[in-house]
Amino acid sequence: MSVTGALEMIGAIAMIAGLWNRHLAAGSAFLFVFLMLGAIHAHLFRADQPIVMAIPASICLILSVWILIRNLG
């Protein structure tokens, strides 16, 4: 398993645990924001893929920012 995959698994487990602890939800959302920014960068600039390939990561980024704002505010 790659480092990115391990971080995604940790973030997913923390996001589920965030249903009961808002600090875990905010922390995992913060992690996902950076992971999705990296995914968008990799799709668009490193792999030269069309913008359509970055749409799932963009949706995850928007949802992660929303969760982060909701749990910090």
- The structure's pTM equals 0.88
Q: Give DSSP secondary structure letters for 13-60.
A: HHHHHTTT-HHHHHHHHHHHHHHHHHHHHIIIIIS---GGGGHHHHHH
Quote the pLDDT of residue 73: 74
Q: Region 38-65: what's the mean pLDDT?
A: 94
Contact present, 67 and 12 (Cβ < 8 Å): no
d(CA 46, CA 44): 6
- Residues 5-38 have pLDDT tens digits of 999 999 999 999 999 999 999 999 999 999 999 9
Contact present, 61 and 29 (Cβ < 8 Å): no
Q: Where are the domains of the chain?
A: 3-72
Token pair listed for 45: 């600039």
